[in-house]
Structure 1
Amino acid sequence: MLINELTPEKLAKMMDHTYLKAFGVRADIEKLCKEAVENGFAAAMVNSCQVKLCKKLLAGSDVKTASVVAFPLGQMSIKMKACEAKQAIEDGAEEIDYVLNIGELKMGNYDYIREEMDTMVKLCRDSKALCKVIFENCYLTRDEIKRAAEIAGEVRPDFIKTSTGFGTGGAISGDVRLMKETVGDAVKVKASGGIRTWESCREMIEAGAERIGTSSGVEIIRGFKEDQV
């Protein structure tokens, strides 16, 4: 989307409002969902154990319930990732963001990455849930990012995503651009990790991101509105 076509409402619908901290309590999820509804965000993103609560709190709104899977390390077997995703979907998740197996990718085991992606995409698609694949780019070379994106271009998840926000680095516009150039229009790109201001959000959108993952959505919308004055 072109920046000059954005409105606060359109920007909000590009954002996954996120709370993924290990020490989150009910009040944190209640606050997350309240803000998501008030601002009209695309989704509220939580850990899988909080999906039922999130779904209940979002009832009656058009905000989607989203869950991370194999988060944040990605070091689970394909079977266990599918199991967690299946349970999250049964609990009410409408979008799944899973972390691919970074070690297998770095070893060049592309058949494994393809099998994992195939499994997760099929599971989500059969359940009418969106599937987003987290690369965790801070641990990858540009060649590895491109190879993972090429596989995604073949398998066709709904989104490929830059980062968990729990690694050594977050979203970088150059990575977003590389991912988008590789997949073209076949797959969308989600930028996540360290995006806390309208300026950084704008940079990711200009690079090709069509979804933004952030815990600072309210502040970003405020910054966008101030920029329009």
Structure 2
Amino acid sequence: MLSTNSSIELTNLKPIVTESEIIELVEEALMKKYKAVCIPPYWVKKVRREIPSSEELQLVTTAGFPFGFSRSEPKLLEIKKALEEGADEIDVMMNLTAFKSDVKGWAKIEVAQFANIIHEHQKLFKLIIEMPYLNDEEVETACQIAKAGGVDFISVTSGFATRPATVFDTMKLKKLLGSAVEIKTQVDSTLDVEEAVQHGANRVAVVWGKE
């Protein structure tokens, strides 16, 4: 079971998540030897104080979340602040309004900017492409942008889209990406993690309280 646990990213991005819930989430992730916790940016500094960077548990937070339609500058500020406060990985929402408006050059430039700043700090960049809103051609283009921009992971969904992630999403990404970019998906419970990994997911988000 350890190999499955080492793929799990225990997540709580609810808008009303409390400090006590964040503490419980982190304690559970440490106890069960999960790979990571994903929490709102507001709590990164506190959690970093509680978890020395020597711990194997990765501290993940977000930027441009959950819609991604802000300009690049505020997203960059979010990223820089999260890195300063001790985040190991940043999940950044792709600008879908630019992407869908065929301003794909902008999306490509933005992704490269984010990759540069995150990699300067030797941290990981996960790009959320929100597959429930994309057709097959758009998914392929998003994968090309991610590969060209140096993204470490593509994430299927924010969890706030019109439908949940599926194993078919993961399989599609695996076919397009191969081993060039890793894949993050989301499942309803820890019981579904093994299936997600078998279909190509490298990281599996499980919402805290559902596992």
- Correspondence for 1:40 among 23, 33, 38: 33
2:198 pairs, out of 198, 202, 206, with 206
Q: Percent identity?
A: 27
Normalized per residue, which structure has more helix? 1
AA of the residue aligned to 1:215? V
When residues 39 and 218 of structure 1 are mapped into structure 2, their CA distance, relative to the original with a 3 A threshold, is: farther
Deviations 1:18-69 (A, max 9, x none): 1111111110110011011101111111111110112122236321111111
Distance 1:129 1:82 in 2: 14
Q: Is the 8 A contact 1:20 1:47 kept in 2?
A: yes
2:69 maps to amino acid: Q
Alignment partners' CA distance in 2, 1:113 and 1:209: 24
**Aligned counterparts of 2:48 and 2:26: Cα–Cα separation in 1:** 9
CA distance in 2, matches of 1:106, 1:172: 22
- SS of 1:28's partner is helix
Distance 2:175 2:47 in 1: 34
SS of the aligned residue for 1:164 comes to coil
8 A contact 1:164–1:170 mirrored in 2: no
The match for 2:188 among 176, 195, 198 is 195
Return the match for 1:182 from 176, 179, 184.
176
| Partner SS for 1:143 | helix
1:20 partnered with 2:13: yes
Residue 108 (structure 2) aligns with: 114
1:106-145 to structure 2, matched below 5 A, reads 106-145=100-139
| SS across alignment from 1:71 | coil
CA-to-partner distance for each residue in 1:59-95, whole Å, 9 max, x for gaps?
A: 3632111111111111111111111010011011010
**Which amino acid letter does the alignment assign opposite residue 154 of structure 1?**
A
Give 2:88's aligned residue. Answer: 94
Q: What's 1:157 paired with?
A: 151
The secondary structure found in structure 2 opposite 1:179 is: helix
Shift in Å, 1:218: 8.2
Q: Does 1:77 align with 2:57?
A: no
Quote the offset at 1:195 in angstroms. 2.8
Q: Which moved more, 1:210-219 or 1:141-150?
A: 210-219
Tell me how far 1:202 sits from its aligned partner. Answer: 2.8
Give the stretch that moved more between structures: 26-35 or 54-63. 54-63
- Tell me if 1:68 matches 2:62: yes
- Give the drift of 1:104: 1.3
Contact in 2 for aligned 1:152/1:160 (Cα 8 Å):
yes
CA contact (8 A) 1:71 1:98 kept: yes
Measure, in 2, the Cα distance between the counterparts of 1:167 and 1:126. Answer: 31
CA distance in structure 2 between the aligned counterparts of 1:131 and 1:83, rounded to whole angstroms? 15
Tell me how many residue pairs correspond in the alignment.
210
Displacement of 1:203 in angstroms is: 2.9
Distance in 2 (CA, whole Å) between partners of 1:217 and 1:55 is 22
Residue type matched to 1:195 in 2? D
Could you tell me the TM-score, scaled by structure 2's length? Answer: 0.94
Contact 1:156–1:186 at 8 Å: present in 2 too?
A: no
Task: Tell me the amino acid that sits aligned with residue 206 of structure 1.
Answer: Q
Which amino acid in the other structure matches residue 84 of structure 1?
E
